[in-house]
A and B are shown apart, each in its own frame.
Chain A
Amino acid sequence: DVKVTQSSRYLVKRTGEKVFLECVQDMDHENMFWYRQDPGLGLRLIYFSYDVKMKEKGDIPEGYSVSREKKERFSLILESASTNQTSMYLCASSLQGASSYNEQFFGPGTRLTVL
């Protein structure tokens, strides 16, 4: 059974803290993604990675960075958490494939609250 796991389901942090969100997939997928989901705004892409140590900015990268040292792991980092980063964070992975547009497999999400 294919799986994408995220390190925490719920997380509460203080403003200014450095926050790490971890995502691990066991499907040997090349592509990995971080989204945030907010009511009325749907899913917005923060960063994605198509290979180890490779990353591309998504639509809302400001205030975030990522790390992909191993193929199976993609980390999202909030350098200095702010209240407007309170959100649901979703990690996903997909095969690269010939078309590059394959289905994405999602983790269960991390609901982050920044106080």
Chain B
Amino acid sequence: SQQGEEDPQALSIQEGENATMNCSYKTSINNLQWYRQNSGRGLVHLILIRSNEREKHSGRLRVTLDTSKKSSSLLITASRAADTASYFCATASGTYKYIFGTGTRLKVLA
């Protein structure tokens, strides 16, 4: 079964608005990562947050991690049409392995 579950499954916002998506997981983790996938393409790594970190920033991205609730959120500020994509969280599970969630489909309307 999928460990990472993103919420919502789909999100539609206007350009300039902020987009927030959440990820919940079930077991303890080493780190949690967020990836973006443009339609029909491979995934691109966005940001990694380690289990001893609570918040991390990268450009317009802000990630939080709450290990007590086993959840993470990805905030994209001042969204652009080019941010339209699917976003996945991935948690490290076992040796060398990651478990990916089913993704949030974000649509940014111009």
- A interface list, Cβ under 8 A from B: 4, 31, 35, 40-45, 48, 50, 56, 58, 88, 90, 92, 94, 96, 99-101, 103-109, 111
Contacts and interface: CB of A to CB of B under 8 A. Distances in A.
A27 to B, nearest CB: 13
Nearest to A56: B96
Contact of B101 (A4, A42, A56): A42
A42 B96 contact: no
A50 B97 CA distance: 10
B77 interface: no
A100 B48 CA distance: 13
B33 interface: yes
Given A43-B88, A101-B92, A4 B31 contact: no
B42 interface: yes
Interface residues of chain A: helix, strand, loop or mixed (majority): strand
Given A42-B101, A43-B88, A103-B48, A31 B41 contact: no
Contact of B31 (A45, A96, A99): A99
B58 interface: no
Count chain B CB atoms within 10 A of each CB in A103, A106, A111 and give the residue with the most. A103
A42 B5 CA distance: 9
25 contacts: A40-B102, A42-B2, A42-B100, A42-B102, A42-B103, A45-B99, A48-B96, A48-B97, A50-B96, A56-B96, A58-B97, A90-B42, A101-B31, A101-B92, A101-B96, A101-B98, A104-B45, A105-B45, A106-B35, A106-B43, A106-B44, A107-B42, A108-B42, A109-B41, A111-B40
Contacts of B96: 31, 48, 50, 56, 94, 96, 100-101
Interface in B1-58: 2, 4, 30-31, 33, 35, 40-45, 48
Nearest to A45: B97
Given A43-B100, A104-B45, A109-B41, 8 more contacts: A31-B96, A35-B100, A40-B102, A88-B40, A100-B96, A101-B31, A101-B96, A104-B43
